[in-house]
Structure 1
Amino acid sequence: MTPVGGTSTGTGAGAAVRRLDLGWFVRPDSETGDGRPRVEPALAYLVDHGGELLLFDTGIGAADPETDAHYRPYRRPLPAALADAGVTPADIALVVNCHLHFDHIGGNPLFPGTPLLTQRAELALARAGGHTIEELVDFPGAVFEELDGEAEIRPGLWILPTPGHTAGHQSLVLRRPNGTVILAGQTHTSASDFAAAELAARARAAGAGEPLPEPDPWVERLLALDPRQVLFAHDAAVWEPLSG
């Protein structure tokens, strides 16, 4: 499997990652912060961990007419994206969703009986109503494994809570011999936004005077893992450290 960056690591060198293009949507000007609409990708990630295949997010789901009119999505079927990688939905052993909004769980119903890892707080939000498209959550055969905080789900694969976009947002951390890779989902809209948060944390650690941006508490937790790459759900750009 061809990874996002660099060459294939092979079975003995940790998890390899392949980015999947699952379409796009148009974020309206009311949500972008700069008064202009923006087209954003819907990205998922296929992880090969020693021959076991995991999927981080599953694309844009079917929504009601009002939501479709608001975001004008183009959906690329998940089976087609997986076929490009030489696999099928039946090959996936585990699904991890960064959160349960409809643009991250669209392909979940393709995985009845497959464990779906989510934070307990996120699943509670989804089931309370008004958070997502409910038919994409408790579909026939849905099997959730609920987490309360950090968890090592496989040797070298960690789930870390990264709340902010939603209360139960989580990221997937891949500890690899050639450096840590973080699948950060929608912790930030873009790699540039994450870079700004990283620099703010660096400035604070260096004793820069106030005022400074107030960081999310988990940003320092992610940076303590010394990531080599951070990948996002709605930005094809990849964050990498300025040095090292």
Structure 2
Amino acid sequence: MIRITPIQTGTVSIRPHHYCGEAGRSPLGRKIDMMRDKDWLENLPIYTYLIEHPEGNFLVDSGDTAENSSKAYLPRWHPFFQHHVLVKVAPGEEAGDQLRAMGLNPAKDLKGVILTHMHHDHAGGLHYFPHTPIYVSRENFMLANSFRGTILGCLPMHFPKWFAPVLVDLTDEPCGPFPQSYPITRDKRILLVPTPGHMRGHLSVVVRTPDVTYMLAGDATYDQGLLLEELVDGVTYDVATSTDTLKKIRALGIEEPTILLPAHDRNAVERLGSGLILPRS
């Protein structure tokens, strides 16, 4: 039996143009729009997802840390971190604390942690998993550990000193509409697929069960409505690449019954509970 449990590690508030860029705007133009925004889109959830699989427990993303609620944790020179994102993670809301509350030891009871990408709200809880294999794409890891990665929203100065992840190089075995994949489990029911656009090397996690497929999409899209309308966020490095990713996720939902579970979708828990799949026409 395979079961997926969402774990909310606090909330994040972002600017409206961060959430969804305007049609026709370039990646640079979208970021300028985001920086000019006066309003906030408040309190989006920060979800990690626990996958219980016969081969072991896997966590998708590590969530953020309560330390990120303090401005002192963030680079003071960085306008995005100082003025355009607001993380609220209370003590006890971190992924490791919540796993313990579920009866799991985060240092011992996980077969693996899978990072869709290494933005701060997805890689902020890594310190709980020093003895667990942590999977991330090679491309994303190299970017996140550079100064450019910091510019783009990563915090490599806070990655644990012991952090040496399993660097994923995708193989040419297709998974539905995705031309490449990487199996996490021997039965290939948990697969990584490429979903670039939000960040280079971004991966999503496909979980196949006999009845339904789950698409744990990270930040490939922020919610199902944006996906269905093929609307791209303000963070994208290439609008066409992001749009192609959205089309592939949509195509997967047409090929097989699929429940979409992004990291910041307010309706993800309800869809999961009710078994609401992506429209198939």
In which range does the TM-score fall when normalised by the shorter chain? Answer: 0.7 to 0.9
Matching of residue 241 in structure 1 with residue 241 in structure 2? no
Q: Whose relative contact order is higher, 1 or 2, with alpha carbons under 8 Å and at least 6 apart? A: 2
Instruction: Report the counterpart of residue 182 of structure 2 in structure 1.
Output: 151
Instruction: Report the counterpart of residue 202 of structure 1 in structure 2.
Output: none
Matching residue within 183, 186, 210 for 1:177: 210
How far is 1:135 from its partner? 2.9
RMSD: 2.6
How far is 1:87 from its partner? 1.4
Contact 2:194 2:203 (8 Å CA) reproduced? yes
Instruction: Report the counterpart of residue 18 of structure 1 in structure 2.
Output: 5
Matching of residue 60 in structure 1 with residue 64 in structure 2? yes
Contact 1:102 1:136 (8 Å CA) reproduced? no
How far is 1:65 from its partner? 5.6
Q: Which has the higher strand share?
A: 1
Show the 5 A alignment for 1:120-159: 120-131=138-149, 132-137=154-159, 139-149=160-170, 150-154=181-185, 155=187, 156-159=189-192
- Distance, in Å, in 1 between the alignment partners of 2:4 and 2:139 is 27
Instruction: Report the counterpart of residue 86 of structure 1 in structure 2.
Output: 103
Q: Which has the higher helix share?
A: 2
Structure 1 outlier segments of 4+, above 3 Å:
32-36, 213-225
Deviations, residues 62-119 of structure 1 (Å, cap 9, x unaligned): 4416425542211122233213322121212200011000110111121113111111
What TM-score, normalized by structure 2, do the two folds share? 0.69
Q: Quick one: which amino acid aligns to residue 209 of structure 2?
A: R
Instruction: Report the counterpart of residue 105 of structure 1 in structure 2.
Output: 123
| Structure 1: 5+ residue stretches without partners | 1-12, 199-212
| Structure 2: 5+ residue stretches without partners | 22-36, 171-180, 232-241, 272-276
Contact 1:114 1:143 (8 Å CA) reproduced? no
Contact 1:182 1:227 (8 Å CA) reproduced? no
Q: Which moved more, 1:120-129 or 1:21-30?
A: 21-30
Q: Quick one: which amino acid aligns to residue 161 of structure 1?
A: P
- Distance, in Å, in 2 between the alignment partners of 1:223 and 1:241 is 6
- Distance, in Å, in 1 between the alignment partners of 2:100 and 2:163 is 23
1:162 and 1:219, CA in 2 relative to 1: closer, same or farther beyond 3 A? same
How far is 1:218 from its partner? 3.6
* Identity level (%): 24
What TM-score, normalized by structure 1, do the two folds share? 0.79
Instruction: Report the counterpart of residue 113 of structure 2 in structure 1.
Output: 95
Instruction: Report the counterpart of residue 28 of structure 2 in structure 1.
Output: none
Q: Matched residue of 2:264: which SS?
A: coil
